[in-house]
Structure formats: structure tokens, C-alpha cells
Amino acid sequence: MKNNISISQIREVAQEVYEQVKQNTDGKNADYIPFLANINKNLFGINICLTNGEMISIGDTDYTFGIESVSKVHTAILILKQYGREKVLQMIGADATGLPFNSIFAILLENDHPSTPLVNSGAISACSMVEPIGKADEKWEAIVNNITDLCGSAPKLLDELYKSESDTNFNNRSIAWLLKNYNRIYDDPMMSLDLYTRQCSLGVTAKQLSITTATIANKGLNPITKKQVFNADIAPAITSLIATVGFYEHTGDWMYSAGLPAKTGVGGGVMGVLPGVMGISAFAPPLDDAGNSVKAQLAIKGIINKLRLNIFSGEQVNIV
């Protein structure tokens, strides 16, 4: 079956869903990172970037917010570029943990590898793998350059968020040392943790996140800058990681009801990939109990369902 949709239909549906979801007052801002607790909870934006470069922006799509765990996707792409698919599978893995993003228990359960670069342990391990090993400044430059290529423009470090998170990241410090204990961190643990904390503190917009997922949907070719950011064979690898654990312990529920690989962050951002078609992102600070933005989930799910874009539907999507 073919699903032919036009950009104006997508825009109309996105606007309709935006108006509905805007009224929702459920969830609350992340408060374990003090900076995030104080962000205006009414901010809300939806951005869609098609693989042909056309863009739909509704609401607060230019507001700069903390990228947080969404950055795990960017750095996973960087290590996939530097090491290739097989090595990343061996050194980190690609399994769902079924547990919260910062779970220590998950590390103890699977102590032969950290499971996936999209939870805290695997993401800290991914930062440790970034080349050149042992050189913090150059590693940081590689991380930021890669995020810039994927977003089509540079992210901004939110100093206050970085400080707030560095002052309170005791659980993540334990994770870094546990990884060391199990030989699953490949550079200095505290340096790797600092890189992870700093990348989580980068500010991005919903627009930039939809360009990232549009680049993944477009097999590594950024549809806005036209730069080939990564080789096409990395696209299905990163999309599978996102599909497996993008919503942490709620990933199954999400995939079942939305049918779209998507990654969340406690800053309120969510970005989804519809392979071959588009990247979609939404941003709104209040979160559910697993740390996923309530309004961003409702928005993306609403749009995907209304437009019949569920990747498991077997329908071939054509933008006409």
C-alpha cells in the first residue's frame, strides 16, 4: 500500500496536534539537575525536517535547551564512524536494558559489556572511546564538531547547566568507576565522565534536533547543509539502537503506540527518525516518571498516527 502525503497535509496535522497537546499540563521538569527545574514549563515546539530539506516549525523551535541524553545518539554516531559497527557492538553492545537510564543494576546484570551507547553507562563508555584517546581537548572538539555536522549548525554550551550537572552527578561518577572495575571504559574514567556531562549540557533547538534525525533518515547526508556526515551503513545501525532503547524502560510501550524510533532527554527534547522520509522533534520540559517529555511524546505520537507513518505498517510513504 502507498501512503501519499503532501507537505501541506503534514503541516496541517502538526498544527492541529500542537494546539491539542499545548493544553496538557501533566508531568514535571527534571529536578535532580537544579538548572532544569527552573526552565519555563510552558515552552513547546515541534519541528519536522524532510529528507528533501523542507522544514515545518511550530511553536518554540528556536529556543535553546539542554540536549541531555539526546546527545548520546550523536556521540554513538561518532564512535560508529571512528570504530565501525562491529567494534561498537563488541566494546559496548546494542541491547535494551529495560531499566532507567542511570541504572547501576543494569551494569551489574550485564557485566561483560555496557549494553548500549544510549544509556548513561554506555554513553560514558562511548565518550571514553572517542579518538584521540588520552586527549581531552581534542576529544571534546571531535564531539562538538560531530554534533555541529549533524545539527547543521553549532550547539552552545550552557555553562550554568554544565556546572549544575557537574556539581550533582554522583550517580554518574559511580557508573564511571564501575565501568572501570569491569574494564568497560577505554580512557580515563573521570575525563570520560566530564566529556559526557559537558555534551549533555550543550544547548540545542528543536530545529537542530530534527535536522539530526533527518540526516539519519537521509543515510548520513545532512539535507540542509548537503554534507555527507557519515556513511550510509551507519544509518540502520544507529536507528536500531534508537528503536531499542530510546525511551529507556518505556521503549516497548513507545514503539507499540507510536511506531517510530525516537530518543529522549531530560531537557525535554525528543527526536524521531522516519527512515527515508523525515526527522521529527519536539521539545517541552515537563517529564513523565521515566524522564521523557510528556508533551513531546504526545505530539510526535499524534502526528505519526494521524498521518499513518508507523514504520511497522508496511505502507510505503511518498511525499508528493
Residues contributing to the site for ligand GLN (CB under 6 A): 68-69, 101-102, 120, 165, 172, 200, 265-266, 291
Q: Which residue is nearest to ligand GLN (CB)?
A: 69
| Shortest reach from residue 243's CB to ligand GLN, in Å | 17
| Shortest reach from residue 169's CB to ligand GLN, in Å | 7
| Shortest reach from residue 281's CB to ligand GLN, in Å | 14
Of the candidates 74, 50, 48, 52, the one whose C-alpha atom is nearest the C-alpha of residue 61 is 48
| Shortest reach from residue 30's CB to ligand GLN, in Å | 8
| Shortest reach from residue 197's CB to ligand GLN, in Å | 7
- For residues 218 and 264, which CB has a smaller minimum distance to ligand GLN in the complex? 264
- For residues 266 and 298, which CB has a smaller minimum distance to ligand GLN in the complex? 266
How far apart CA 132 and CA 34 sit, in angstroms, is: 33
| Shortest reach from residue 235's CB to ligand GLN, in Å | 23
- For residues 172 and 239, which CB has a smaller minimum distance to ligand GLN in the complex? 172
| Shortest reach from residue 296's CB to ligand GLN, in Å | 12
CA distance readout (Å), 70 to 101, 112, 177, 239, 308: 12, 25, 23, 13, 25
- For residues 78 and 200, which CB has a smaller minimum distance to ligand GLN in the complex? 200
Amino acid at 149: D
- For residues 30 and 299, which CB has a smaller minimum distance to ligand GLN in the complex? 30
- For residues 203 and 236, which CB has a smaller minimum distance to ligand GLN in the complex? 203
- For residues 101 and 254, which CB has a smaller minimum distance to ligand GLN in the complex? 101
